[in-house]
């Protein structure tokens, strides 16, 4: 941490070089020992970071931060407090750059990867970590929390992408522990809010783009623009890994740094040369028990004669796309292809991503909570289900309302039985949310059971044959429901096991 910025003047130099600094108020020789976003968490020696947010204006708390021991502040406008201040154009971006600088820019000490897209971020990030770890001790930051070189660190679950102070602190800690690579999820909110601007990434990965978060971004164009900001955060000699099979990323393919990838050989004629191509995609039995997987032929740089057979424990073409992104990243990191293929055969279960609850009977949990994700998941399952495909689905409250009917349409079109229920209703009326989803079913019969536990019981009861499959969509890895403003414990794995004990097919759990 010898390169850590330790004076206010040095922080000002960092911000000036980024064209952010407007004015320095007060002495610059103040020693900075840390950074803080919350005045209540300020410690003596901290640099307080303030900007005008969507709900709060942190300038109102500069005085409280000073009382708590802050030695200076970064602000978007001068505050009448006896405290040295750096006045900047963009407080959010300045906060990310300052946080990283004060921590010694730990991202420069590691191989850094950011994964963005609507769906597949967590799965791709976890798979990249699995492929890199034997050669490079690898950390991960994302929806599941913080993973260091030893594994998951309890109590770190939260935002997909943490705030810049938390992020810089975690990066510093990972580097100090000997971690040599970090892969993280980059949410559209985080990219739009400049949380990642303190890191220059070696690889930026783009998985796919479909409707989500329009309650925040308002339009798909603004949503895409936020995602594409990741390009600017990748170093000039870094790489951009793009799922070129998704037309949403058209234009990114022209970047000189791009590694383009496909999941479907039939689309090559429309898109030109590719670096990684998956061909002959089909189901396979891998791992133990009834865990189904996928086999495909991997062609690298058009060398069809040396096609490599890849086996993974994941179902569906969308997971082939995630796997290709992970393979591309591992190759960039210098992992030989033969080692990558060996490791893919033993890839870990991704929590809440087509996760199988029982041995011998298909009850699957998936985080699909957007129309695109639900369509990809049900499309992957549909050809493999000889009996009925039963889906339990809802939609989150206080979020994008325009995707609800689309989710209902997908559920009705691709499943045999639909059970509409609650997801995380938050402060909305669960019945009103179900009404919105039901609009997309266009007259198709469905069951309406607001209580999610009862809905799961109904779905499992409707399974009359070992050829039937039940998909519990929307909650995935989450072990809670948000009712009002309270998080109530709710682990679908445990709920499914509990309600299944009296059913004819129950013989235990996976």
- Model confidence over 389-416: pLDDT tens digits? 999 999 999 999 999 999 999 999 999 9
Domains observed in the chain:
8-102 (3.40.1390.10), 106-344 (3.40.1190.10), 355-500 (3.90.190.20)
Do the Cβ atoms of 289 and 510 come closer than 8 Å?
A: yes
**Residue appearing with tokens 């990249």:** 128
* Chain mean position to CA 410: 22
What would the mean pLDDT of 349-375 be, rounded to a whole number?
91
What would the mean pLDDT of 187-195 be, rounded to a whole number?
95
Structure tokens at 352: 């809440």
Question: Over 50: is that where the pLDDT of 289 sits?
Answer: no
Each residue's pLDDT tens digit, 68-80: 999 999 999 999 9
Each residue's pLDDT tens digit, 194-231: 999 999 999 999 999 987 887 878 898 999 999 999 99
Q: What's the mean per-residue pLDDT of the chain?
A: 92
Report CA torsion sign: 127, 125, 369, 263. Answer: negative
271 CB burial (10 A radius; 0-12, 13-18, 19+): middle
pTM above 0.75, yes or no: yes
Higher pLDDT, 269 or 433: 433
Cβ partners under 8 Å of residue 63, min gap 6: 79, 81
What would the mean pLDDT of 31-38 be, rounded to a whole number?
96
- What pLDDT, on a 0 to 100 scale, did the predictor assign at position 266? 64
- What pLDDT, on a 0 to 100 scale, did the predictor assign at position 132? 98
Higher pLDDT, 98 or 264: 98
**pLDDT over 90, % of the chain:** 76
* Position 384 confidence tier, pLDDT thresholds 50, 70, 90: confident
Question: Over 80: is that where the pLDDT of 185 sits?
Answer: yes
- What pLDDT, on a 0 to 100 scale, did the predictor assign at position 286? 45
Buried/exposed code over 144-172 (b: 16+ C-beta within 10 A; e: otherwise):
bbbbbeeeeeeeeeebbbbbbbbbbbbbb
Question: Over 90: is that where the pLDDT of 503 sits?
Answer: no
Structure tokens at 381: 């399952």
Nearest-angstrom CA–CA distance, 345 and 186: 27
């Amino acid at each position: 941490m010898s390169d850590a910025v330790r004076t206010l003047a040095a922080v000002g130099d960092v911000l000036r070089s980024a064209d952010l600094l407007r004015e320095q108020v007060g002495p610059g020789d103040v020693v900075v020992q840390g950074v803080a976003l919350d005045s209540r968490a300020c410690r003596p020696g901290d640099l307080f970071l303030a900007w005008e947010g969507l709900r709060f204006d942190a300038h109102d708390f500069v005085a409280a931060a000073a009382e708590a021991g802050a030695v200076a502040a970064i602000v978007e406008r001068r505050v009448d407090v006896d405290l040295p201040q750096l006045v900047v154009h963009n407080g959010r971006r300045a906060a990310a750059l300052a946080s990283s600088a004060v921590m010694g820019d730990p991202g420069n000490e590691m191989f850094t990867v950011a994964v963005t897209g609507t769906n597949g971020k967590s799965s791709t990030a976890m798979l990249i970590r699995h492929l890199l770890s034997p050669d490079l001790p690898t950390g991960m930051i994302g929806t599941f929390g913080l993973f260091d070189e030893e594994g998951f660190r309890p109590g770190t679950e939260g935002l997909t992408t943490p705030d810049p102070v938390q992020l810089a602190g975690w990066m510093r800690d990972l580097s100090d522990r000997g971690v040599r690579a970090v892969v993280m999820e980059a949410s559209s909110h985080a990219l739009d809010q400049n949380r990642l601007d303190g890191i220059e990434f070696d690889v930026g990965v783009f998985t796919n783009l479909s409707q989500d978060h329009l309650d925040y971004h308002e339009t798909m164009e603004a949503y895409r623009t936020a995602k594409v900001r990741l390009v600017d955060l990748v170093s000039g000699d870094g790489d951009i890994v793009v799922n070129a099979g998704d037309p949403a990323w058209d234009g990114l393919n022209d970047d000189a740094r791009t590694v383009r990838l496909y999941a479907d050989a039939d689309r090559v004629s429309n898109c030109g040369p590719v670096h990684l191509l998956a061909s002959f995609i089909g189901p396979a039995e891998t791992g133990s028990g009834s865990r189904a997987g996928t086999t495909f032929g991997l062609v690298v740089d058009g060398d069809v004669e040396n096609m490599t057979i890849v086996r993974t424990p994941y179902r569906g073409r969308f997971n082939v796309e995630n796997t290709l992104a992970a393979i591309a990243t591992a190759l960039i990191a210098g992992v030989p292809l033969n080692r990558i293929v060996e490791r893919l055969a033993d890839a870990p279960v991704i929590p809440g991503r087509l996760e199988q609850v029982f041995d011998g009977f298909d009850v699957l949990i998936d985080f699909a909570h957007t129309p695109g994700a639900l369509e990809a998941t049900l499309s992957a399952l549909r050809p493999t289900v000889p009996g009925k495909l039963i889906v339990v689905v809802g939609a989150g409250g206080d979020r994008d309302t325009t995707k609800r009917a689309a989710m209902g349409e997908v559920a009705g079109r691709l499943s045999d039985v639909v059970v509409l229920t609650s997801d995380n209703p938050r402060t909305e009326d669960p019945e009103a949310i179900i009404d919105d989803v039901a609009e997309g079913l266009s007259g198709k019969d469905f069951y309406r059971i607001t209580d999610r536990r009862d809905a799961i019981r109904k779905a499992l009861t409707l399974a009359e044959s070992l050829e039937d499959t039940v998909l519990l969509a929307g909650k995935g890895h989450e072990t809670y429901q948000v009712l009002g403003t309270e998080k109530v414990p709710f682990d679908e794995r445990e709920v499914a096991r509990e309600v299944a004990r009296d059913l004819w097919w129950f013989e235990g759990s996976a």
